[in-house]
Amino acid sequence: MKNFLFILALSFAIYSCGTGNKTMGNSSAKITKNDTIRIANDSLEYEIMIIEPGFDSWLISQPPRGFYGQSFLESKNRSFVSEYNNRVLQPARYSHNLYGEQINYDPTVDYGYEVNYLLYNYFVFFQDKYNQKFIGGRN
């Protein structure tokens, strides 16, 4: 993964919430144990991994795929990634446990709907679970 390595790997516990394995209907999306969601596209050389207990069961309660347009999701993700990356660069102000490493999200790359949908929902989940407030976050 040379140019566009897209990793979101936040894991704060080794325990499992026990939601089990589920199939998402997208051949490139796979859910494995411990609420790990991985989406990869070798032709674009990107990967997104969401490793967060409880995310999968939380996602089921959110607006379904297709509710938001891709341009809305891309706009929100640009804002959220920028805010997240700024916090990574301020370890004295923001916990390294929450903001471990930067996310490489290139706004000129079309990551597709599924990646943008999951990334947007992860940021909403992250803000809710860890009581973080991003500019432009969902109320």
pLDDT digits (tens, 9 = 90+) for 35-76: 677 766 666 667 777 788 999 899 999 999 999 999 999 999
With 0.85 as the threshold, say if the pTM is over it.
Answer: no
Element (H, E) at 134: none
Residue among 111, 103, 98 at smallest CA distance from 82: 103
Question: What letter represents residue 49's amino acid?
Answer: M
Beta-sheet strands, E only, within 33-78 = 36-41, 46-51
Tell me: pLDDT of 15 over 50.
Answer: no
pLDDT of residue 20: 38
Sorted by where each begins, the domain ranges of the chain are 29-129
Distance CA 82, CA 70 (A): 18
